[in-house]
Amino acid sequence: MDIKGVISKVEYWVATLVVLLVYTRFLNNWLIFGAFYLVPDLAAVGFGLSPRIGQTAYNTTHTLIGPLCLLLLGLILPVQQSIKNSFMSLSLIWLCHITVDRGIGWGLFPQD
């Protein structure tokens, strides 16, 4: 593995650590964490329909765009704190899932 690959993996493991620390500090509900951690992998069901649908569904649920937008909504929406906490909790769990996947070397599927 070249230096860029090593740095990339270290970045994702540091991001995982930060996400876990933020989750522990502000939300700290490990039952919810465990219940939702693998939800992004449900997109793999799309492979039962076709490889292209599976790849698209998996890639959509494994980019940082979705959880970062959800986190932003949790921070700026003028709603009850419990709703904000739900948005933030789900976004941090989702971010943790993605950063762990990338940290162990799993990336997105190439699109044809």
For the stretch 64-95, pLDDT in tens is: 999 999 999 999 999 999 999 999 999 999 99
pTM of the model: 0.94
Mean residue pLDDT across the chain? 95
Asked if pLDDT for residue 111 goes beyond 80, the answer is no
pLDDT value at position 1? 79
- The token duo for 102 is 């990338």
pLDDT reading at 106 higher than 80: yes
Mean pLDDT of 14-27: 97
Band the pLDDT of 31: cuts 50, 70, 90: very high
- State the pLDDT at residue 112: 64
